[in-house]
């Protein structure tokens, strides 16, 4: 447990302010602890910036600003006015004139951005090592990767530096680092959050995600940043009810193919047992069609969407890019516009074939990642080690689904093991409700800890105070 910091959750921060603490003192102390050599950060708030933030806070009514004075971090592919956006590529840095929609909403709620976090360059990776700002180590064991691409955001939340941070998730970047650092990783339905001011990775698939120590905090932040902006595609994705059935049917992989050397099978079996004890019926499914969808993302024309996002740079000065990221994105040159349409047809056909799955199960329950490599292993096999991590995350956004990654226990060696639930698009709130049941079961087991063993969880950590939108319950009367 970290003895220097007892302000971990949103409630901790609110309680401190309610008890008379001043943001100058609390945030000033926090800034003093941010190390310039910490690879989780690309940029940190300085004392001059803090004064600007304090002046802004003075204009807000704390009673109407639920995150008044609460610090947060944002992945450095998300714009914040006054901060350069680098996407971990200094040559591509630019100075945005406006906050991203999600940042604007948090700042309007009184939250204070204290830093921009490191990432796999252009959000291309699941490891957290593809950055000139350094490899982000795992918060439990520095020999292992943090996971990516939202590596820094996960790291600073797991260590209790900020209560929450924004990431982005295209292929798993908001879930894999949550799993590797014992965090809640909220991955909304694609297109339900406004994406203006977020540098695209694959623009049609990207979502902003939330890392938090507790489900309650993640839910509150998700509710605050929920909703489209003026750049959102029309129509908005449909909503679904805020609950799963009392005894949900959960699809699990018939062959999970977990890393037995790491001992991933034990926490997975434990997770299955916990879900059954909560009333879930586990239905083994053949995941082959889902893996075929996933293959489109890097082996098909969608990689051209990453190319489209960095086209000018990759054609002008490819040498400034991370070599692995350059190698991955350069694959796009193989694909024609006709290939892009063919890929879209293939995805539509797979989506149709997969849709009846939701008649058989209410959600999928999967290991967040099937393995967890060391930094050395990734250095040796940068593409293969990375690809293995996306097994249970890559297909989700292509199919417009919602996901929630939760801490699922630990391996015998003490590495975190993550469990993710996936549901049809719009069922974000239903996943949260199920997550609450899961967290309460873990709490009852007596050894649930927050982040990088910051403290034992308490009952209030598993409470859901707010949720993203869901369908209202309607009584329908057909009158004509």
Binding site for a second copy (CB under 8 A): 203-204, 230-235, 238, 301, 304-305, 307-308, 311, 332-333, 335-345, 348-349, 351-352, 355, 472-480
Neighbours of 314 (CB within 10 A): 21
Query: Whole-angstrom Cα distance, residue 271 to residue 91?
Result: 44
Which CB, 242 or 262, lies closer to a second copy?
242
Query: Whole-angstrom Cα distance, residue 55 to residue 50?
Result: 9
Encoding tokens for residue 211?
């890392």
Q: Least distance to a second copy from the beta carbon of 80, Å? A: 23
Which CB, 348 or 447, lies closer to a second copy?
348
- Tokens 């996306």 belong to 390
Helix (H) or strand (E) holding 281: strand 281-285
Which CB, 344 or 453, lies closer to a second copy?
344
Collect all residues with Cβ–Cβ distance below 8 Å to 193 and sequence separation of at least 6: 101, 102, 207, 208, 225, 226, 227, 228
CB contact at 8 A, 161 and 213: no
Residue 168 dihedral angles phi and psi, to the nearest 5°: -130, 160
Q: Least distance to a second copy from the beta carbon of 339, Å? A: 5
Q: Least distance to a second copy from the beta carbon of 303, Å? A: 8
CB contact at 8 A, 177 and 147: yes
Eight-state DSSP code of residue 471? P
Q: Least distance to a second copy from the beta carbon of 322, Å? A: 19
Collect all residues with Cβ–Cβ distance below 8 Å to 120 and sequence separation of at least 6: 88, 126, 127, 128, 129, 130, 131, 148, 149, 151, 173, 322, 325
- Tokens 């979502």 belong to 207
Q: How far is CA 168 from the centre of its chain?
A: 6
Q: Least distance to a second copy from the beta carbon of 248, Å? A: 20
CB contact at 8 A, 128 and 118: yes
Encoding tokens for residue 52?
């600007």
Eight-state DSSP code of residue 139? S
Q: Least distance to a second copy from the beta carbon of 476, Å? A: 6
Catalytic residues: 75, 149, 173
Eight-state DSSP code of residue 363? E
Which CB, 261 or 477, lies closer to a second copy?
477
CB contact at 8 A, 193 and 205: no
CB contact at 8 A, 188 and 208: yes
Eight-state DSSP code of residue 152? H
Q: Which residues pair with 404 in a beta bridge?
A: 186, 421
Q: Least distance to a second copy from the beta carbon of 394, Å? A: 18
CA distances to 168, 243, 301, 341 from 162, in Å: 17, 29, 38, 43
Q: Least distance to a second copy from the beta carbon of 479, Å? A: 5
């Amino acid at each position: 447990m970290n003895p220097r910091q007892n302000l971990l959750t949103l409630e901790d921060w609110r309680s401190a302010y309610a008890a008379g603490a001043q943001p100058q003192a609390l945030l000033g102390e926090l800034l003093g602890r941010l190390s310039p050599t910490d690879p989780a950060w690309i940029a940190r708030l300085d004392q001059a910036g803090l004064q600007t933030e304090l002046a802004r806070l003075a204009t807000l009514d704390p009673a109407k600003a639920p995150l008044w004075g609460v610090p947060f971090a944002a992945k450095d592919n998300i714009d914040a006015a006054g901060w350069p956006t680098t996407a971990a590529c200094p040559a591509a840095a630019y100075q945005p004139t406006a906050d991203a929609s999600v940042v604007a909403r948090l700042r309007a709620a009184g939250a204070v951005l204290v830093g921009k976090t490191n990432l796999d360059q252009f959000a291309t990776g699941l490891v957290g090592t593809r950055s000139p700002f350094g490899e982000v180590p795992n918060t439990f064991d520095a020999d292992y990767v943090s996971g990516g691409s939202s590596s820094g955001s996960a790291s600073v939340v797991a260590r209790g530096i900020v209560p929450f941070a924004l990431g982005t998730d295209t292929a798993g970047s908001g879930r894999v680092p949550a799993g590797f650092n014992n965090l809640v990783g909220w991955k909304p339905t694609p297109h339900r959050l406004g994406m203006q001011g977020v540098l695209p990775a694959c623009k049609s698939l990207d979502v902003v995600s939330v890392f938090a120590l507790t489900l309650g905090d993640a839910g509150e932040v998700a509710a605050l940043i929920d909703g489209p902006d003026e750049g959102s595609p029309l129509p908005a994705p449909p909503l679904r009810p805020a609950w799963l059935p009392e005894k949900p049917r959960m699809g699990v992989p018939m062959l999970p193919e977990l890393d037995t050397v790491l001992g991933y099978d034990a926490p997975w079996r434990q997770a299955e047992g916990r879900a059954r004890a909560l009333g879930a019926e586990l239905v083994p499914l053949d995941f082959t069609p889902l893996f075929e969808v996933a293959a489109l993302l890097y082996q098909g024309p969608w990689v051209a969407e990453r190319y489209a996002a960095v086209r000018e740079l990759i054609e002008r000065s490819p040498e400034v890019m991370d070599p692995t990221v350059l190698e991955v994105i350069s694959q796009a040159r193989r694909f024609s516009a006709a290939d892009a349409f063919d890929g879209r047809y293939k995805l539509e056909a797979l989506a149709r074939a997969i849709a009846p799955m939701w008649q058989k199960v209410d959600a999928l329950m999967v290991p967040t990642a099937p393995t967890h490599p060391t930094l050395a292993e990734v250095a040796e096999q940068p593409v293969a080690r990375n690809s293995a991590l996306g097994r249970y995350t890559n297909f989700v956004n292509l199919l417009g689904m919602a996901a929630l990654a939760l801490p699922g226990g630990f391996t015998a060696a003490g590495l975190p093991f993550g469990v993710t639930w996936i549901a049809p698009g719009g069922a974000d709130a239903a996943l949260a409700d199920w997550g609450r049941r899961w967290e309460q079961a873990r709490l009852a087991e007596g050894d649930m800890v927050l982040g990088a063993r910051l403290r034992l969880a308490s009952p209030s950590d598993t409470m859901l105070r707010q949720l993203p939108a869901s369908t209202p319950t309607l009584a329908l009367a057909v009158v004509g």
